[in-house]
């Protein structure tokens, strides 16, 4: 039986491709891997790299103004574009995004942290199935846990019961249950898109002894304007790695 998550009707409602890219800022690089476009922002002798999977409707170049904050914390920033976004080739689908997440993870060099923002948490969850040794932690920013909620937000009717295959391939609980490394979950207390209870659910499922949950008061679905957000990120990047 064909999966709802592979249907054009679902994927056309899920993704909002934004092609093209702004000019490169000084010191940045555009990277291409298997038809995927990434932008690597400059950082002087970073301690680690951050592979960031953005929220929907966002491109790598949209993070230009935030990259200096990562660099100041000793973190180099590499932002991936989904298919159809930026200069990445091909139509975007959820399954393809998950496959691409593994391709990108295998290409990372040195210690790095996976960062998922909103829809990007789906890619981070996928990496928990087979995390490379160089992946030293993960940041879960405004992510979802409820598959039915994901479907209904697309204006579609969710099935009464998801198949075991859909839960395995697209659900987050089974994937999070595999992660033993460092995990920081961040969510806005006033998020109008995804309920903060879903952040608590992600925290509860993950078995790691090195996990933390922060619900940021006064924040919605975008946390970048919060001073506390940056304080928490700096502390996370400054902690030594733990075995996975």
For 3-50, write each residue's pLDDT tens digit: 999 999 999 999 999 999 999 999 999 999 999 999 999 888 899 999
Give residue 126's pLDDT: 98
Give residue 243's pLDDT: 52
Is pTM beyond 0.85? Reply is yes
Is residue 190 scored above 80 in pLDDT?
yes
Give residue 133's pLDDT: 92
**133 contact partners, CB below 8 Å, separation of at least 6:** 244
* Average model confidence (pLDDT) across the chain: 95
With beta carbons less than 8 A apart as the criterion, state whether 215 and 199 touch.
yes
Give residue 239's pLDDT: 74
- Residue 187, classified by CB atoms within 10 Å of its CB into exposed (0-12), middle (13-18) or buried (19+), is buried
Query: Considering the chain, what percentage of its residues have pLDDT values greater than 70?
Result: 98
**What domains can you pick out in the chain, each with its CATH number?**
4-15+30-238 (3.40.50.1820)
φ/ψ of 49, rounded to 5, equals -110, 150
Q: Which residue has the higher pLDDT, 239 or 230?
A: 230
For 112-158, write each residue's pLDDT tens digit: 999 999 999 999 999 999 999 999 999 999 999 999 999 999 999 99
Closest CA to 52 of 83, 74, 29, 79: 79
Closest CA to 211 of 187, 180, 167: 180
Is residue 202 scored above 90 in pLDDT?
yes
Give residue 170's pLDDT: 98
Give residue 238's pLDDT: 87
SS (H, E, C) the chain: CCCHHHCHHHHHHHCCCCECCCCCCCCCEEEEECCEEEEECCCCCCCEEEEEECCCCCCHHHHCCCHHHHHHCCEEEEEECCCCCECCCCCCCHHHHHHHHHHHHHHCCCCEEEEEEHHHHHHHHHHCCCCCCCEEEEEEECCCCCHHHHHHHCCCCCCCCCCHHHHHHHCCHHHHCCCCCCEEEEEECCCCCCCHHHHHHHHHHCCCCCEEEEEECCCCCCCCCCHHHHHHHHHHHHCCCCCC
Residue reference for tokens 């139509």:
91
Is residue 241 scored above 90 in pLDDT?
no
pLDDT band with cut points at 50, 70 and 90 for residue 240: low
Mean pLDDT of 94-111: 96
Give residue 2's pLDDT: 84
* Polymer length in residues for the chain: 244
Query: Considering the chain, what percentage of its residues have pLDDT values greater than 90?
Result: 94
- How far apart CA 108 and CA 238 sit, in angstroms, is 20
- Classify the phi-psi angles of 218: left when phi > 0, otherwise alpha if psi is within -120 to 50, otherwise beta: left
Mean pLDDT of 69-98: 97
């Amino acid at each position: 039986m064909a999966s709802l998550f592979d249907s054009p009707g679902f994927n056309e409602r899920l993704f909002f491709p934004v092609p093209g890219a702004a000019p490169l800022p000084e010191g940045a690089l555009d990277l291409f891997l298997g038809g995927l476009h990434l932008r690597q922002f400059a950082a002087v002798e970073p301690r680690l790299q951050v592979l960031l999977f953005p929220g929907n409707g966002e491109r790598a170049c949209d993070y230009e103004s935030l990259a200096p904050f990562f660099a100041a914390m000793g973190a180099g920033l590499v932002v991936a574009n989904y298919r159809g976004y930026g200069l990445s080739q091909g139509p975007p689908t959820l399954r393809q995004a998950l496959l691409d997440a593994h391709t990108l993870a295998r290409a990372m060099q040195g210690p790095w942290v996976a960062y998922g923002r909103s829809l990007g948490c789906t890619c981070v969850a996928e990496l928990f199935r087979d995390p490379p040794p160089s992946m030293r932690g993960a940041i879960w920013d405004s992510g979802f846990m409820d598959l039915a909620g994901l479907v209904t937000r697309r204006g579609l009717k969710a099935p009464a019961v998801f198949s075991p295959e859909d839960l395995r391939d697209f659900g987050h609980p089974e994937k999070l249950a595999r992660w033993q490394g460092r995990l920081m979950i961040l969510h806005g207390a006033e998020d109008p898109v995804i309920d903060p209870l879903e952040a608590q659910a992600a925290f509860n499922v993950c078995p790691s002894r090195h996990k933390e949950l922060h619900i940021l008061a006064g924040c919605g679905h975008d946390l970048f304007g919060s001073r506390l957000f940056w304080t928490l990120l700096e502390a996370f990047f400054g902690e030594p790695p733990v075995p996975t």
